[in-house]
Chain A
Amino acid sequence: MIKYMLKRQVVEDILSLTFLINFVLILGVVLAFSLIFLSDYRGQLADYAVKSAKNERTLRHFSEDPRNANAYANMQLVMKPRAERFISLSYEDRSPQGFYFRMLSYELRVLSRKEDVSGIGWYIPVTTREFISPPAFFSPDLTFIVQFLLSFLAVILAFNAVTGEKEAGTLRLIYSNPAKRSHLVAMKYLSAMLTLGLPLLLSLIIATVMLEVSSIVPLASGFLYNLMMFALLSFLYLSVFVLIGLFCSTVTRTSRHSLVLGLLFWLFLVVILPKSPGLLLNLKRFDVPTGERIESLVEKTSQDFQEKYKKEAMALRDNEEAFMRLVNRVGPEVDQARQGVRDQYLTRKIAIVKTLRKINMISPASLYEYATSSVAGTGIFHFENFWNQARQFGNGFISFVKQISGDKEPSSPFQFDIRSITNKPIDYNAIPKFEEKEIRPGERIKEALPYVALLALYNLFLFTFVFYKFGRYDVR
């Protein structure tokens, strides 16, 4: 019995116009996106190369003349644009790219999208020569295509599973035979997944070949593995929407109602729900000071220290040596306190984002987005990991220079007493360089686990509900 039903269902679907339209649409959109991504990615890599080259130059100058090189130079530690951005961009292009690392200090300042460089301080401006884009509803990547377009198609495919057959009169016909109720639903589900899954897989394969052939995007084996995980997650996600379509079909009497209900569900879960928590950013709970205010708080920390040690400093004002020794002693404390203020607020900002994400976890669309972002190692997960690596590098760099200078003064921070840095050239190859390490697969999967579990739960719940509802459906 199942065999016949499945065969009929599949043949009917493949012959239908819907299947063809699906196929063409999915293929077309994914391939068009691949082309856009390729053209864009080149630019991103070029930008990254420029920054890396600049860092290299800074390090070389430093290695040649450590004491007199511009030791207050900044290195720009930025996240490398990985090929995984194709799978999940997760707003990386709009979020901070990395950090300014002020060499020989503990200072790590968040590097924001663009800075005005005319020389009057730093801040996040919106200038006339920058493109002022409206806040994005979505981030363009494969995840978006599946999350938005394919889920919509899933609902369209599944909404008249039951009501359509009822209206064509075939529902009664089928059940006048010894056919289990659950089988019809299962068949509809499988055929919908097939109609979506085939073009999706095909287009992913073609896209991968395109990326490979273009030789712009360096594809490691890791990328293929990530792509496979992405495909699995996509199936899990699309399954939710097929089930929602089926669900609507079983709780309404006519196709028309079923479709409207399905559309409203889709709109709510994919568009409305994920975009609502943005308003919460206004709440006092989620308030953070502006970048300038944070910097002024940092300055205040310095001033506090000055107040604290003012008497001592005044007393030593005529004794240069002693004065500098005091400065060297207090210096690192000040530096770390300053950076501590910055760190505190950055942690807070990231925590706020994570809280809002938690609120979003009601929506399967958000769950899917976060899951793919975790698996691909992009987004805020990436940024946090990068921050750790940047900090480790910064500390390591200071230790290295101290060590090679023969740490004269107790933990001298250099920025106050440049004479504590060695004035002999350092071997460039010995200097620690910043190489961003990819997040290990195990960690990425661990990060994605809660989202995947919830998606599976969604599926389970919808499955049982649909089967239950259909079991009691009035086939007349």
Chain B
Amino acid sequence: MIRTIIKREFLDNILSFKFIACVLVAIILTSVSTVFLRSDYLARLEDYRTGVTLNERNLKEVPVYSYLAPKVFKEPNPLSIFVSGIERETGTYADINHRDIPASLRGGLIKNEFSHMFSFFDMSSVITIIFTLLAILLSYNAITGEKEEGMLSLSLANAVPRYKILLGKYFGILISLAVPLALLFLMGILIVLLSRDIEVSASFFFSMTLLFGLSLLYLSSVAFIGLFVSARTKKSFTSLLVLLSVYLITVFLLPLAVNGYAGRVTSLRTRNFEANLPSVTDAREKAIEQSLDKIRSPRTWLLPFPSRRGTMLLKRISPPEFLDYFKKTVRIQEKLMEDYAVKIESLREIDDAAAAAVRRWRNIILAMMPSTDFTRMADLTAETGEDNLLLFVSKLKTYWHSYVHYLDEKNAFGLKYFYPYPEEFTPQEKDLIERINKDYVEGKQLAGYRGKYLEEALGVNPEVQNLDLSGLPAFVFHGSNITDKIGVMLPNILVLISYNLVFLLLAHFSFNRYDPRKDA
């Protein structure tokens, strides 16, 4: 019996104008956006690969630890083609530097600061905007429409229990939504598979399947809500008006308001860092100054010179006390920088905690409405949302500690921090240094001689060896697997399931009491 009803409902739906129009719009929007986002993804992938390669090449050519500036890259996710999240908005790499614990990502594809005026569609927003509307259009007059046209009386004049009619309508709507949705997903997967430049793993398919399932769960809740409202109203128009208002509010207005408000609150509560940073950096400067005070600095004869190599050479051919001085000061300075990096980080953590608190209640509020709940789950599945970014940054911080540990092990703040040359001097150089030292000790103003000595030193051209960075810890960031994702999303999934159950029951009870007479 139910099968008969389902079949009829389904056929009736797919032949209707509203279905055809909405599905057409959905297909066009999804295909256009998928194509664009795909090329966007490829560009980011290219960026990523170039960055990684360049970084590795740079690492091979590092002569001194002060040049060591490893970069850590965030790999773009092919799922971002379908759920763009904030991946396009955020940076793609971080500089690792012992002076500052990384707290953010640099780079990124959104280069035009004015681009915030333009947003765009991706498959997940097609689902929340177009498919939700379709679900509403299919369900708003499921009951009121049949009543108004007299068919409800006709159907109920038979030995068919009301719940079967209701379930028949529900499944009819669900299947009418599932078929085009599956089409879109398949189309999307096909576009990705046909791109030779994109490699996908099994987890990609699992995630897409999960996304499909979640979309259906979400749309199912919309269908039940629509059926409930239809079973509670007497006129189709009223039902539609109520559902459309709910749609406008929950899909457009409420997220805007909640996100906007949360953004403002966050910016108000995270002023601690900016306010207190100057005092910490001042303290850092003072500490460095004080420590350096204790060390006697040699008479200056070294003026800044444009090229780094020139400066390095001047250090090499300087009187010995210069080299000593540099050795001591560099160690103290960089060590202090490292310590203060941790202090600055603890300042950040205060603001981070405040931002995290705001984020938490924002997520709770948004989880209470099906459409925003679904959006959040889509972001979590595709790993293109906030949570993924925050996870990456926290892994970065952990990595920083292992990097700094590595530097300590290698005694990076010693001579090798700034001095790329072998410690042994050639006879030529020894001679040069003796002459310089003689002039220096005699108290001559060496400024005028600098150029002359430098030319000689340049002529000697000591060998530079690159560092052995084989022990440098590697940064590894894996995405989560499917079970982990589902685990994280469990509360959100439960919310959607509850919506389904609650509105199923409400629709059932309302329909049981529904007066099917045409003129009632």
Contact = CB atoms under 8 A, between A and B. Distances in A.
B100 A125 contact: no
Interface stretch (A91-99, A178-186, A406-414, A441-449): A91-99
A136 B281 contact: no
B103 A123 contact: no
Of listed A124, A255, A349, residue having the most chain B CB within 10 A: A124
Contact of A125 (B85, B104, B120, B351): B104
Contacts of B490: none
Contacts of B32: 276, 279
B223 interface: no
Contacts of B267: 130-131
A8 interface: no
Contacts of A110: 113
A138 interface: yes
Of listed A127, A148, A280, residue having the most chain B CB within 10 A: A127
A134 B264 CA distance: 14
Given A40-B264, A126-B91, A133-B259, A317 B114 contact: no
B448 interface: yes
SS of B interface (majority): helix
Contacts of A356: 118
A156 B40 CA distance: 39
Contact of A318 (B344, B351, B390, B451): B451
A133 B119 contact: no
Interface in A223-257: 255-257
A260 B21 contact: yes
A290 interface: yes
A118 B277 contact: yes
A223 B315 CA distance: 65
A156 B242 CA distance: 12
A304 interface: no
B114 A271 contact: no
Contact of B133 (A91, A124, A263): A263
Nearest to B114: A353
B254 interface: no
Interface in A118-152: 118-120, 123-140, 148-149, 152
A201 B39 CA distance: 47
Interface stretch (B181-189, B200-208, B226-234, B352-360): B352-360
A91 B117 CA distance: 6
Nearest to A25: B245
Contacts of B108: 290
Contact of A278 (B100, B120, B130): B120
Nearest to A134: B86
Interface string A33-58: 00010001001000000000000000
A149 B118 contact: no
A430 interface: no
A280 to B, nearest CB: 8
A169 interface: no
A275 interface: yes
Interface in B454-479: none
Interface string B89-133: 111000101011001111110011111111111000000011001
Contact of A136 (B116, B268, B354): B116
Interface in B273-305: 273-274, 277, 281
Interface string B213-235: 00000000000000000000000
A127 B120 contact: no
Nearest to A132: B386
Nearest to B386: A132
B54 interface: no
A74 to B, nearest CB: 15
B119 A136 contact: yes
Contacts of B85: 134
Given A116-B104, A272-B29, A318-B448, A129 B348 contact: yes
A461 B29 CA distance: 27
Interface in A176-235: none
B246 interface: no
A140 B86 contact: no
B355 A277 contact: no
A281 interface: yes
Interface residues of A, number: 76
A353 B111 CA distance: 12
B275 to A, nearest CB: 11
Contacts of A272: 25, 29, 121
A275 B236 CA distance: 31
B37 interface: yes
Interface string B419-458: 0000000000000000000000000000010010000000
Contacts of A318: 448, 451
Contact of B112 (A133, A257, A349): A349
B389 A132 contact: yes
A278 B104 contact: no
A150 to B, nearest CB: 12
Contacts of B393: 128
Contact of B270 (A40, A130, A350): A130
A156 B105 contact: no
Given A118-B100, A267-B133, A282-B40, A91 B17 contact: no
Of listed A110, A131, A276, A286, residue having the most chain B CB within 10 A: A131
Interface in B307-327: none
A259 interface: yes
A94 B104 contact: no
A462 to B, nearest CB: 20
B160 interface: no
Interface in A81-122: 90-91, 94-96, 110, 112-113, 116-120
A136 B469 CA distance: 44
Of listed A118, A272, A277, A317, residue having the most chain B CB within 10 A: A118
Interface string B76-88: 0000000001100
B261 to A, nearest CB: 8
Contacts of A137: 119, 252, 256
Given A119-B100, A123-B106, A132 B121 contact: no
Contacts of A131: 262-263, 266-267, 355, 358-359
Given A129-B354, A131-B355, A256-B236, A275 B277 contact: no
Nearest to A360: B118
A128 B274 CA distance: 14
Contact of B116 (A95, A120, A152): A95
B513 interface: no
A41 to B, nearest CB: 11
A175 interface: no
B296 to A, nearest CB: 28
B121 A275 contact: yes
B99 A290 contact: no
Contacts of B451: 317-318
Contacts of A139: 117
Interface in A426-469: none
Nearest to A350: B114
A256 B17 CA distance: 10
22 contacts: A40-B264, A91-B117, A116-B103, A123-B106, A126-B389, A127-B104, A128-B103, A128-B348, A132-B89, A132-B386, A135-B119, A138-B256, A149-B248, A152-B248, A263-B137, A264-B25, A279-B33, A280-B36, A281-B115, A288-B111, A290-B111, A353-B112
Interface of B: 17-18, 21-22, 25, 29, 32-33, 36-37, 39-40, 43, 85-86, 89-91, 95, 97, 99-100, 103-108, 111-121, 129-130, 133, 137, 141, 145, 236-237, 240-241, 244, 248, 252-253, 256-257, 259-264, 266-268, 270, 273-274, 277, 281, 306, 344, 348, 351-352, 354-356, 358-359, 386, 389-390, 393, 448, 451
Interface of A: 36, 40, 43, 90-91, 94-96, 110, 112-113, 116-120, 123-140, 148-149, 152, 156, 160, 255-257, 259-261, 263-264, 267-268, 271-272, 275-282, 286-292, 306, 317-318, 349-350, 352-353, 356, 379-380
Can you list the 5 inter-chain pairs with the closest CB atoms, starting with the nearest? A125-B104, A278-B120, A278-B118, A131-B266, A129-B351
